[in-house]
Amino acid sequence: MGAFVTCVPVMAQDSTAAPRHPEKDIVHSLFGRSREDLFCNYLKVSRGERAIFLEALTQYEAEKDPYIQERIALLKVYNEKYTSLDEPMMNSLTKNIIRNDKEFVALQTRFYRRMINLLGGTRAAMFFQLDNYLELSTRLYIQDDLPFIKELESDRKLAVARMKANIN
């Protein structure tokens, strides 16, 4: 009989001591559980693996955080200045987002090697599958509020309505 082990963070955090991270709040609001719980349950982390896994996850999240914060800041600039962005500023924002993505992938590559040693190849692959899924879910949640996406969605709805009208 297999049992899921719920991971509890090794050290409790005082919510007044440090600011909450938007990505963690988004993950919790989308999935109803913490990232730690999602990872531990999905990867079936055993009691014996829990402490070392949570330490590695905490370190990964800490090293990942600056990339997430930078991406959020870049998207915030885009969102706030959408109507007044000129060509050089748009080019700069795009290059910075691409650079951020490349650096983030380098971090993932480094931690993938560590996760292989910790969890084995299959669960390391599963770790990054879940991490990428949570990352993409968070990005979509954030980008849903960006003007460009709203315009595309409006255009898509109009196209679907026209297509339905032509069919009838």
Q: Which residues of the chain have pLDDT under 70?
A: 1-24, 145-156, 168
What is residue 168's predicted lDDT score, i.e. its pLDDT? 67
Tokens of 48: 């014996």
**Per-domain residue ranges of the chain:** 22-161
Tell me the CA distances in angstroms from 78 to 49, 74, 84, 85, 87, one per residue in order. Answer: 42, 6, 9, 8, 12
What is residue 148's predicted lDDT score, i.e. its pLDDT? 60
Neighbours of 158 (CB within 10 A): 10
What is residue 14's predicted lDDT score, i.e. its pLDDT? 35
What is residue 140's predicted lDDT score, i.e. its pLDDT? 83
- DSSP letters for 21-53: PHHHHHHHHHHSS-HHHHHHHHHT--HHHHHHH
How many residues appear in the chain? 168
Residue with tokens 């040693």: 117
Note if the pTM is more than 0.85.
Answer: no
CA nearest to 75, candidates 140, 125, 137 = 140
Q: Is 61 exposed, middle or buried (0-12, 13-18, 19+ CB in 10 A)?
A: middle
d(CA 136, CA 125): 16
What is residue 146's predicted lDDT score, i.e. its pLDDT? 66
What is residue 2's predicted lDDT score, i.e. its pLDDT? 39
Rg from Cα positions in the chain: 20
